[in-house]
Amino acid sequence: MALAGSTAMWWARLWCRCPAAAPLCLPPWLPPWLPAGPVACERPYSSRGEGKLDMSTYPVESIRNFSIIAHVDHGKSTLADRLLEITGTIAKTGRNKQVLDKLQVERERGITVKAQSASLFYSHEGVNYLLNLIDTPGHVDFSYEVSRSLSACQGVILVVDANEDIQAQTVANFYLAFEAQLAIIPVINKIDLKNADPERVEKQIEKLFDIPVDECVRISAKQGTNVEKVLQKVIEKIPPPHCNTADPLKALVFDSTFDHYRGVIANIALFGGEIQKGYKIVSAHTKKKYEVNEVGILTPNEQPTHKLYAGQVGYLIAGMKEVTEAQIGDTLFLYKQPVEPLPGFKSAKPMVFAGMYPVDQTEYNNLKSALERLTLNDSSVTVHRDSSLALGAGWRLGFLGLLHMEVFNQRLEQEYNMSVILTVPTVPYKAILSSAKLIKEYGKAEITIISPAQFPDKLSVSEYLEPTVLGTIVTPHEYIGKIIALCQDRRAVQKDMLYIDERRVMLKYLFPLNEIVVDFYDALKSLSSGYASFDYEDAGYQAADLIKMDILLNGNPVEELATIIHNDKAYATGKFLCERLKDAIPRQLFEIAIQAAIGKKIIARETLKAYRKNVVAKCYGGDITRRMKLLKRQAEGKKLMRKIGNVEVPRDAFIRVLKRQPDK
C-alpha cells in the first residue's frame, strides 16, 4: 500500500535523537546583511546576544513559503536535500541521502507520516530571502493536513519523474495546490537517467495541467543539476505572503509534535502580527489561554528566535500538554485581541474504522501503553475502548484512511514490538432518521453509524448514506478494460476519462469508500502488473441501499460478524463469510447451519456436517498419559470457546474470519 510520495522525514527529529551529530550539521547561517553566495556562513546573532536569531531583518517581501509535492519515489526527498545543501542549511557531505526518512515505516513505504519544516536563507540578486520549505504528509489519507500545510504556502514545487510519467498522486497533488490558488513550479526530475523522456512528461503536464512546456525546470536532484534554478524560480514565481506585522496576531497551526520534556511543539505560520516569549495567546478552537515560552524557526532543528513576524513560519511552545490542544488548522490569537479564525478548520475526521485487539489478552496493558504513546504524536487517530465476546478487550480505532491505518499498525509492530489482531476495516455510514422517537433519543435526525449494532431499522430511517471518494487512476492504456471492469464491480461511477498522451490514461471514478478499504489497491496493482497508480480524495456522502447482514449459527446471530453492506454486495459477501466460517469452525456433535441473513431472509448457507466418528482407535496402558493430557487440554479449550446457541466456536475462528488478509 504505497500510495504515497517519497519525502524527507525531517531533520529536526533526526537531530533531536542524535545530539552528538548536531555540531557537524549546524547550519552555517547566511547573514541577511551579507550579499554573499550560498556558501557564506556566519551566524546572524543579534546584538542582544543570548544566541537568538533576530527575524525582524526579513520583511514580508523577502519571504517565500512553499512545499514540494510529488508522487512516491519521484525524488522529493532528494530535491529537499539539495535545497538544504545549497542554502547552507546542512553541510554538503554526500551522505545526505535518505538519512531524513527516519522511521522504518517511512523508509519502507516512502511516505511522510509527520510533516516537518525548514527555513532556508538564500541570497539572490543582492536580496536576502527567507525561504520556508513546508513539508506535507505524503498521502491523501492526510489530505486535510496537506491542505493545512498548503494553506501556509503561496506556492509549490511539483516534482515529476522524467522516467515514470505523471501518476495519480501527481494529479491529486496538483489539484490540491491548484484549488488553493498556489503558484506551481513544475520540475522534471531524474533527467540524468538513461530512459528519461522529459519532453513527454512536459507534454503531459501541458495537456493535463495547462502549464506551458517552457515553464518546466529539468533537473537531476541526485546530481544537483539545475537545482539552483529551482530556487530562483521559487523567488521569481511564488509571491510573498500577504500580511502585515502591524495587524493583530493571527497564527495558523499546521502541525504539532509532542516532546516529553517540553510538551507540545506547534508549527505555526503567521498571517498577521508578531509573537514572542511572554505573549498571552488563545486557541480559537479550544478557547484555552496559554503563555508563550519559546518561539523560533526550524532549521530544521528548533532554533529559538526573539520573535516571529507576519509571513514567517516557525514553532511555538506554550505549555500545551496534549497534541489535541494544538489541533492542525487551529488559529492562535492574542488574549483579548480575537481575530476571525482562518477558514477551513475541522477536527480530524476518521474515515476508516477497525477493531484492534491484543493477540493475547495478557498483553492488553502493554498494548494500551503503546497506543497511548503512539497517539501522543498522532491526534488524528481516534481511540474508543471496545470489547468483543470472541476477541476480548480491545479498541475501535478510527483512521484518516487505509494507509494511515497500516502505517499505524506497522509502527506498533516495529517501534513497540506489539502484535495485534486488526479486524476488517469498516467505514462510517450515516442514517437520516424518520422515526420521531429515535430522533428524540439521538437528539438529531442524522446519525453516524460506526458499528453494526447501532444500525437503525429501515422502518425508522428515511435514507441511509455512505461515504464516497473521488478516485484518480493513471494507467497505461492497455489495462483500461480490466480497470473499468474492476471499478464497476466496486460500484464506482465514472466521472472522467482522459488520454494524457498516446499511452497513458487518467480515469476518475466516484467510489463508495467501503469498496476500496479492503483490497482495491492490491487488485488494481495486480491486474495492471503494478503500472496503474491510484489516489483518492474525500467526496462526501451519497444515498445508498444499505442493509445489515447477520451471520447465524443454527439460527443464532453471531454479534461479532454482523456487517453493514450495500444490498448489491450482500449475496457475495454473505457467501464468502459463510465459506470462511465453515473452514474455521471444527465439526461438532450435530450439524451446523451457517447462514447469512438479512432480517428474516436467508441469503447464503453452508452446512458443517456433524462428527460421525472421532473416537481414538487404540487406547491401552501405554497411551493413557498422553491421551489424558490431550483430553484435558481440550477440556481447558472448551472453557475458552465462544458458545453461540449450542455451537462452540474457537476464538481463532473469529480471528480467521474477521482478520484482514494482508496479502490477498
Q: What distances in angstroms separate CA 13 from CA 21, 119, 260, 470, one per listed residue?
A: 12, 15, 13, 34
As a whole number of angstroms, the distance between CA 218 and CA 107 comes to 26
In whole angstroms, how close is the CB of 163 to other proteins at the nearest point? 45
Tell me the H-state helices in 141-284. 143-151, 168-179, 198-209, 227-237
Cell numbers at residue 8, please? 524527507
* Cα gap 244→370, rounded to integer Å: 44
Backbone angles phi, psi at 361, to 5 degrees: -60, -25
Q: Which of 100, 374, 111, 125 is nearest to 236 (CA)?
A: 125
Please identify, using beta-carbon distances, which residue of 24 and 615 lies nearer to other proteins: 615
Using DSSP, state whether 218 is helix, strand or coil: strand
Cell 481414538: give the residue: 616
Write out the three cell numbers for 405. 491505518
CB of 593 to other proteins, least distance (A): 17
C-alpha cell at 599: 432480517
Min. distance of Cβ 651 from other proteins in angstroms?
16
Smallest gap, in angstroms, from Cβ of residue 484 to other proteins? 40
Least Cβ distance, residue 619 to other proteins (angstroms): 6
Rank residues 195 and 625 by Cβ distance to other proteins and give the closer one: 625
Of 127 and 628, the one with the shorter C-beta distance to other proteins is: 628
Closest contact distance (angstroms) between CB of 551 and other proteins is 24
Residue with smaller CB distance to other proteins, 330 or 606 = 606
Q: Which is nearer to other proteins, 459 or 616 (CB)?
A: 616
Listed as own residue / partner, the contacts of 485-488 with beta carbons closer than 8 Å and 24 or more positions apart are 486/520, 486/523, 486/524, 486/527, 487/511
Contact 622, 384 (CB under 8 A): no
Burial class (CB in 10 A: 0-12, 13-18, 19+), 178: middle
Rounded Cα distance, 311 and 245, in Å = 8
* CB 608, min distance to other proteins, A: 12
**Taking each helix axis from N to C terminus, what angle separates 76-86 and 227-237, rounded to the nearest 10 degrees?**
80
Closer CB to other proteins, residue 17 or residue 639?
A: 639
Nearer to other proteins, 570 or 644 (CB): 644
Residue type, 287: K
Whether residue 476 has a cis bond before it, omega within 30° of 0:
no
Residues found near other proteins in the complex (CB under 8 A):
587-590, 609, 611-622, 624-625, 627-628, 631-632, 634-635, 637-639
Neighbours of 408 (CB within 10 A): 24
Shortest spacing between CB 631 and other proteins, in angstroms: 5
DSSP 306: S
Residue number, 261 or 620, with CB nearest to other proteins: 620
User: At closest approach, how far in Å is the CB of 657 from other proteins?
Assistant: 22
Nearer to other proteins, 42 or 652 (CB): 652
